[in-house]
């Protein structure tokens, strides 16, 4: 799968002709480098995100000056520059060095070169550990390869993507963008969940959990009886589930859970992980 085929599937012929022409004829010999929509890249062709989409993605992610935003395959740098204008520190990783230099000049012109950093590199090798927000326009195939790295981010990290979703991972929020956006106008938000798979010890008994992204199932065993849990769900480090008619709500911190006395019928509760599962 590649973005060219995706474009062919959704655009009318007239648009495809214009699209191809812009990619071929946009550059003039001797002129300063300007990227052209549809130009080839290492893993995906470059297609710019509509300005209204950039704004919506950052709105959905609730970007603030406290955030560190990363864009992999950052293209002309518009996601990174827009995040920097909101006061966030932002990093763009782009394989095409011409695009990197173009983005740096754009950040300088916009007055955010101190907050918007661009580096040349392979997105699959990039260090994204500092990210609190990932703002991405990639194919589902690219996202699938990146999924293990994305899940390794700190729980609560927000991932906003343009149109193409992450395979097997149900988006926490989906927003359709109206206005000046003709194609690729859906924002999907994924919130990195805490890892809870494994066996936990509660005062009420032993809790065994199996996890699938932000949802989980399992059993609570006590006094020789085993009760299935229901409605297991995570939103970052926040956890909530039902067992035996009682609602458990709280937060996960590594190998411990702490119940919220105001958020569940069970009141305060604690749990310690005895064994982790993959």
> How does pLDDT run across 198-237, given as a tens digit for each residue?
999 998 899 999 999 999 999 999 888 999 999 999 999 9
> Residue 11 CB: number of other CB atoms within 10 A?
15
- Write out the DSSP string of 54-78: HHHHHHHTT--TT-EEEEES-TTSH
Q: What is the pLDDT of residue 7?
A: 43
Distance in angstroms (rounded) separating the CA atoms of residues 278 and 148: 12
- Residue (of 81, 74, 71, 70) closest to 96 by Cα position: 74
Tens digit of each residue's pLDDT (9 = 90 or more) over 141-153: 999 999 999 999 9
Tokens of residue 99, six digits:
């695009």
Distance in angstroms (rounded) separating the CA atoms of residues 240 and 236: 11
Tokens of residue 64, six digits:
């603030």
Question: Tokens 């950093």 — which residue?
Answer: 117
Tens digit of each residue's pLDDT (9 = 90 or more) over 36-92: 888 887 877 888 899 999 999 999 999 999 999 999 999 999 999 999 999 999 999
Q: For strand 225-235 and strand 238-243, is the pairing parallel, antiparallel, or unpaired?
A: antiparallel
By three-state DSSP, how is residue 151 classified?
Answer: helix
Percent of the chain with pLDDT over 90: 72
């Amino acid at each position: 799968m590649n973005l060219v085929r995706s474009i062919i599937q959704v655009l009318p012929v007239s648009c495809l002709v214009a699209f191809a022409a812009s990619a071929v004829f946009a550059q003039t010999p001797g002129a300063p480098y300007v990227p052209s929509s549809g130009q080839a890249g290492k893993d995906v062709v470059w297609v710019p995100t509509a300005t209204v989409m950039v704004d919506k993605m950052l709105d959905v992610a609730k970007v603030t000056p406290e955030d560190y935003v990363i864009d992999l395959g950052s293209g002309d740098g518009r996601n990174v520059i827009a995040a920097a204008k909101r006061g966030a520190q932002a990093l763009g990783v782009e394989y095409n060095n011409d695009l990197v230099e173009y983005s740096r000049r754009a950040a300088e012109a916009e007055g955010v070169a101190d907050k918007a950093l661009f580096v040349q590199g392979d997105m699959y090798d990039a260090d994204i550990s500092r990210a609190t927000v990932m703002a991405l326009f990639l194919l589902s195939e690219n996202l699938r390869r990146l999924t293990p790295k994305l899940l390794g981010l700190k729980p609560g990290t927000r991932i906003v993507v343009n149109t193409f979703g992450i395979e097997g991972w149900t988006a926490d929020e989906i927003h359709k963008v109206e206005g000046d956006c003709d194609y690729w106008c859906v924002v999907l938000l994924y919130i990195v969940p805490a890892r809870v798979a494994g066996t936990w010890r509660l005062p009420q008994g032993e809790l065994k959990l199996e996890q699938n992204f932000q949802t989980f199932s399992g059993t609570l065993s006590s006094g020789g009886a085993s009760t299935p849990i229901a409605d297991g769900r995570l939103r970052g480090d926040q956890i909530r589930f039902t067992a035996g008619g009682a609602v458990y709500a709280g937060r996960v911190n590594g190998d411990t859970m702490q119940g919220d006395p105001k958020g569940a019928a069970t009141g305060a509760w604690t749990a310690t992980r005895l064994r982790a599962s993959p």
